Amino acid sequence: MRFGYVIAAAGAALALAACNSPQDKAAEQKADALESQAAATSNEAAETQLNQQADQIEQQAGKADDAQH
């Protein structure tokens, strides 16, 4: 389960790295922090919730970036 999130997070990080606006950087840092918390917890429900929050942040940043281009 965690390996899938790591792959998804890596892909999202690469996508966010393509555009380096301050908003993108802030969203990436926030998502990375949530993913780190998820990896550190032994509670699978909490891990899933944190990873979902990180995914939402990354998706919102991507949508905002798409709107600017």
Residue 65 has pLDDT above 90, yes or no: no
pTM for the whole structure? 0.66
In the chain, the number of structural domains is 1
- The pLDDT assigned to 4 comes to 62
Domain coverage including residue 43: 2-68
CA dist 63 and 5 (Å) reads 20
Buried b (16+ CB within 10 A) or exposed e, 48-60: eebbebbbebbee
6-63, pLDDT tens digit by residue? 666 666 666 655 556 788 889 999 999 999 999 999 999 999 999 999 999 989 887 6
